[in-house]
Structure 1
Amino acid sequence: MKNLQDLEVFAEVAATGSMSDAGRTLRLSPAVVSKSIRRLEEQLGVRLLQRTTRMITLTETGRGFYERLLPVLAGIEEAEAFVEGHTSKVRGRLRISAPTSFGRMHIAPHLANFMNAHEGLEIELILSDAFVDIVADGFDLAVRIGELSDSTLVARKLAPVRRVLCASRQYVERFGAPQSLEALEDHVCLPAHNGEYWRLEGPEGPVSFRPVGRLVTNSSEVIREAVLAGMGIALRSTWDIGPELAAGELVQVLPDYKSPDNVGLFAVYASRNFLPAKVRLFIDFMAGLYGPSPYWDRAVL
């Protein structure tokens, strides 16, 4: 029987195309990774990888072996998850993708409690506003905000997401507050992305408004700072600006308009027969933190 670690090392090298990247992920030195690959090739009697000074590629045999190995490793993971689900302890690494601002504000501060409760777990939290393929990129789960589209992935709603139109008190004192959606055209708006539409629910039902502003940025955090600085009106989530609303630094404008009810905070993970216990525990932990009445809304609703 082949060494399981050698098989896992080979799969990681094949996925990343790099022994150093595989070593960092698996926390192994390049020498150990190289030795593991060499030992596996010697046991199989074939060359699995083609090495050059610039890159590593799979041989034809190596690709065939890799494609057949993946479901085997997945099956082992599922078997371990089944056992973990019947024990009180979990171990290993939990790899999570989350949006930058939300992860910094509402996941990172709570990680200590979760990790103290599960000392056998390691957490790798990758913050990015880019859409990630959780299967191809090797994530156990992703935290996503928005309207969830149809997918082969499994999703669990963790909390509602409420977005409101807001401006700083100084802006409203200087320029006044719009009295209708059409009146927004006479104000400076702060869209998070150039060309986006604000999709809202109002007294007349679903409406869309295309905001126009002088500030163009790819950073939602820049827009947050801009609205706090009095530069215009923005559509922001209450998880992002709840304390500022509660303190009166920001005020709602057009309060009859809000984000659609189907906008939410979701945990998304690959569809599997056996959900790893580490994933289930973290999802349950987040659902307990946030829930249908998340803490960031309690001071402003």
Structure 2
Amino acid sequence: MSEFNDMEIFARVVSAGSMSAAGRELGLSPAVVSKRLRRLEERLGTRLLQRTTRQIALTETGQGYYERVLAILSGVEEAEAFVSRRSEQAHGMLKVAVPTTFGRMHIAPHLEPFMRTNPDLAVNLVLADEFVDIVGEGYDLAIRIAELSDSSLVARKLAPVERFLVAAPRYVAEHGLPQSFSDLENHVCLAAHSGDPWRLIGPFGAVTWRPTGPLLTNSSEVVREAVLGGLGIALRSTWDIGPELAAGLLVRVLEDYAASRNIAIYAVYPSRQFLPAKVRLFIDYLAGLYGPVAPWDRN
């Protein structure tokens, strides 16, 4: 079915970002890819992609068509896996978006066993602290650390998140500990300059604090190193600084306050009737790694 193959080529061009990249993945020349896309647009009677010399972009019609094509291709992949009894083995390309620090610390070290168990699988792990457009950018799933709102996506909770105010003993020795929540204004507070306030639950309910300090950065990892170095107080998750807390390299500050427990680590993926085996197996693998009491909280 040449029409179906054209749909596959179209989807691959969108996910790869260019006709040349899609051609390399498919083993086709850019000229052939371009020809097949033109044929698809002529058959549909509409333009799906806006092309420039450097990039492509979906038209409004192309965006809607792309979302439906992904659902079709996913269904075909699942059907083929069922018929060939490969539903318990991942295969193909798995594209995953992961927060930078969490991906480096808690996913990358565990990829080797999963990929060894699934030798027909290739993984494209994209580290990004921004929320990506899962459908529009061709991701199979994303890992998000958030309090999720309602959306058209499906989310599975992988692990709870504990977040506390912490500081290094060196900072405490030099500046002391805040004795009350309002006393934070007399201390150096460290945060990436996303503008997000600290939302905490304390003895008298929910409170909010907008951190300010001498360090400006867009990197959560820089904040992590700064608080370990004794520069100030930061709001950090135990998945990020659990070992340092256990070793005494960091101490709790204002121990009656912590972030909302509604924040958790989720696997988020498009709502589909048939979930591809590669997505299901990867999510099951991560859920097994973390569990209701994650490794970083066991001490």
Q: Root-mean-square deviation (CA), in Å?
A: 3.0
Which residue number in structure 2 is paired with residue 78 of structure 1? 75
Residues 145 and 263 in structure 2, CA contact (< 8 A), matched pair in contact too:
yes
The residue number in structure 1 matching 2:93 is 93
Report if aligned partners of 1:49, 1:56 keep a CA contact under 8 Å in 2: no
Closer/same/farther in 2, CA of residues 40 and 164 from structure 1, 3 Å limit: closer
Q: Residue deviations 1:209-244, cap 9 Å, x none?
A: 222211111110110011011000000011111111
Cα distance in structure 2, aligned partners of 1:50 and 1:124: 24
Alignment of 1:60-209 (within 5 A): 71-72=68-69, 74-84=71-81, 87-193=87-193, 195-209=195-209
1:32 matches 2:29 = yes
Q: Indicate if the aligned counterparts of 1:11 and 1:66 stay in contact, CA closer than 8 A.
A: no
| Equivalent-residue separation in structure 2 for 1:103 and 1:217 (angstroms) | 20
| 79 and 54 in structure 1: CA distance in 2 versus 1, 3 angstrom threshold | closer
Greater shift, 93-102 or 143-152, is seen at 143-152
Please report how far the alpha carbon of residue 174 of structure 1 lies from its aligned counterpart in structure 2 after TM superposition.
1.4
Letter in 2 for 1:169: P
Cα deviation, residue 28, structure 1: 3.8
Residue in 2 aligned with 1:54? 53
C-alpha displacement of 1:173: 1.2
How far does residue 288 in structure 1 lie from its aligned partner after superposition?
Answer: 0.7
Spell out the pairing of 1:208-227 with structure 2 (5 A cutoff). Answer: 208-227=208-227
Shift of 1:34: 2.3
The 1:44/1:249 distance shift into structure 2, 3 A limit, reads closer
| CA deviation vs aligned residue, 1:85-113 (integer Å, no higher than 9, x gap) | 55332310110000000000000000001
Name the CA distance, whole Å, in 2 between partners of 1:242 and 1:17.
38
Structure 2 CA distance for partners of 1:49 and 1:153, relative to 1, 3 Å: closer
Q: Secondary structure at the match of 1:246?
A: helix
Structure 1 unaligned blocks of 5 or more: none
Cα distance in 2 for partners of 1:44, 1:117 equals 40
1:294 paired with 2:294, answer: yes
Q: Identity of aligned pairs, percent? A: 54
CA shift in 2, pair 1:219/1:42, >3 Å: closer
* 1:39-68 Cα deviation digits (max 9, x unpaired): 67679987989998825779x9xx979965
- CA change 1:66–1:156 in 2 (3 A) is closer
Deviation, 1:13, is: 3.0
Q: Residues 291, 64 of structure 1: CA spacing in aligned structure 2 closer, same or farther, 3 A cutoff?
A: closer
Q: Which amino acid letter does the alignment assign opposite residue 76 of structure 2? A: A
Q: Which residue type is aligned with residue 152 of structure 1? A: S
- TM-score normalized by the length of structure 2: 0.87
What number of residue pairs does the alignment pair up?
Answer: 294
2:256 maps to: 256
Tell me what 2:234 maps to.
234
Q: Judging changes above 3 Å, is the alpha-carbon distance between structure 1 residues 122 and 15 closer, same or farther for their aligned structure 2 residues?
A: closer
8 Å contact from structure 1 (residues 143, 268) kept in 2: yes
Q: Is the 8 A contact 1:167 1:227 kept in 2?
A: yes
Deviations 1:104-129 (A, max 9, x none): 00000000011111111111000011
- Structure 2: which 5+ residue stretches go unaligned? none
Letter in 1 for 2:77: E
Rounded Cα–Cα distance in structure 2 between residues aligned with 1:4 and 1:23: 17
Letter of the structure 2 residue corresponding to residue 35 of structure 1: V
How far apart, in 2, do the equivalents of 1:171 and 1:184 lie? 14
Tell me the CA shift for residue 5 of structure 1: 4.1
Q: TM-score, normalised by structure 1?
A: 0.86
Matches of 1:66 and 1:187, distance apart in 2: 48
Superposed CA offset, 1:152-190 (max 9, x none): 111111111111110001111111111211111111111
